[in-house]
């Protein structure tokens, strides 16, 4: 059975403001999280159009992250594998799909909609009755839910950050009920990994990873608001292109080592024990 979770993440922003903040955050976050040989490689970024949602932006990325996986996943994956992210951004609605050619039974589908409220819409993404029966809802608090220690930075902690441009923050207990403006990212995540013996473990790992990324990314979008607030769409698209080029260069710096890694992949898969 596909594991379905709905995440609701509030921020002290408007949906219109976050249109810029989201693009800035993703571009900068991708660069900061990339290392030589690993990270987020942008393969394609172009306009697209949908008969229902109108004009948008299509992006395809390859996420190289082998060494960041738990050892029980590394045991079955070659070191050179990557996850394919395809995203259709029809803001304020987006659709994102994750697949992996090495693991054809892995699929993650994320539907997102942004609204100017505090997470009070009960079926924002129009789920069916059957989907609602298996859905679990997780309200993320960017101020008081903790990110992992390796991701924590005091200057990005909404409990301490105060914006000079917008005069928003620090966020105090109960801020989602009192602060204005406020918006919510509604994200429904369908995760499936249909491999007997590993399904539950992998699906749980995927959901935990997504939750951490959502919490970190939304914290950063607010903590970086003074850097992107006031940008036009053209400004942030230019910034996005610059950071994507820097990120791709960072990843390809060790492309020469990929062939050697591929030669070791089969041996690692045989030697690794799955817990």
Q: Three-state SS for 7?
A: strand
CA distance 211 to 75: 24
Range of the domain at 113: 3-37+101-245
Residue 183 lies in a domain: yes
Q: According to the model, what pLDDT value does residue 205 have?
A: 83
Q: What angle do CA 97, 60, 29 make, to 5 degrees?
A: 90
Dihedral (Cα; 43, 260, 36, 210), 10-degree rounding: 60
Residue 11 lies in a domain: yes
Q: According to the model, what pLDDT value does residue 84 have?
A: 92
Positive/negative CA dihedral, 105, 69, 250, 81: negative
What's the domain count of the chain? 1
Q: Which two tokens stand for residue 189?
A: 């995540």
CATH number for position 140: 3.30.530.20
> pLDDT tens digits for the chain (275 residues)?
577 899 999 999 999 999 999 999 999 998 887 765 677 888 999 999 999 999 999 999 988 865 555 554 545 555 556 889 999 999 999 999 999 867 778 889 999 999 999 999 999 999 999 999 999 999 999 999 999 999 999 999 999 999 999 999 999 999 999 999 999 999 999 988 777 777 777 788 888 989 999 999 999 999 999 999 999 999 999 999 999 999 888 887 754 444 333 333 333 333 443 33
Residue 53 lies in a domain: no
Residue 138: burial class (beta carbons within 10 Å; 0-12, 13-18, 19+): middle
- Residue whose token pair is 């900068």: 28
Residue 65 lies in a domain: no
Using alpha carbons, list the distances in angstroms from residue 275 to 1, 66, 70, 103, 268.
22, 17, 10, 18, 15
Residue 42 lies in a domain: no
Residue 55 lies in a domain: no
CA distance 5 to 24: 26
Q: According to the model, what pLDDT value does residue 78 have?
A: 52
Q: According to the model, what pLDDT value does residue 3 have?
A: 78
Q: According to the model, what pLDDT value does residue 67 have?
A: 53
Closest residue by Cα to residue 77 from 264, 257, 275: 264
How many CA within 13 A on the CB side of residue 161?
22
In the chain, where does DSSP find H-type helix? 15-33, 71-74, 129-134, 175-178, 199-223, 225-228, 233-252, 258-271
Q: According to the model, what pLDDT value does residue 266 have?
A: 33
Residue 240 lies in a domain: yes
Q: According to the model, what pLDDT value does residue 65 have?
A: 66
CA distance 85 to 97: 6
């Amino acid at each position: 059975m596909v594991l379905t979770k709905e995440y609701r993440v509030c921020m002290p922003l408007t949906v219109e403001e976050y249109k810029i903040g989201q693009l800035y955050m993703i571009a900068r976050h991708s660069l900061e999280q990339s290392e030589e040989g690993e990270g987020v490689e942008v393969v394609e970024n172009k306009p697209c159009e949908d008969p229902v949602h109108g004009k948008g932006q299509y992006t395809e990325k390859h996420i190289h992250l082998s060494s960041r996986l738990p050892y029980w996943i590394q045991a079955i994956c070659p070191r050179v594998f990557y996850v394919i992210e395809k995203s259709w951004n029809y803001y304020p609605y987006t659709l994102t799909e994750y697949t992996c050619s090495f693991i054809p039974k892995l699929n993650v589908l994320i539907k997102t909609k942004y609204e100017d409220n505090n997470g009070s819409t009960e079926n924002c993404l129009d789920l069916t009755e059957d989907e609602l029966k298996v859905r679990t809802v997780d309200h993320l608090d960017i101020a008081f839910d903790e990110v992992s220690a390796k991701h924590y930075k005091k200057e990005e902690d909404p409990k301490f950050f105060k914006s000079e441009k917008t005069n928003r923050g620090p966020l105090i207990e109960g801020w989602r009920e009192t602060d204005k403006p406020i918006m919510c990212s509604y994200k429904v995540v369908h995760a499936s990994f249909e491999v007997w013996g590993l399904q539950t473990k992998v699906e749980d790992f995927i959901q935990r990873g997504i939750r951490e990324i959502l919490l970190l990314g939304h914290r950063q979008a607010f903590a970086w608001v003074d850097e992107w607030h006031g940008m036009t769409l053209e400004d942030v698209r230019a910034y996005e292109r610059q950071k994507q080029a820097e990120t791709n260069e960072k990843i390809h710096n060790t492309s020469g080592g990929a062939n050697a890694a591929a030669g070791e992949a089969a041996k690692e898969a045989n030697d690794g024990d799955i817990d």
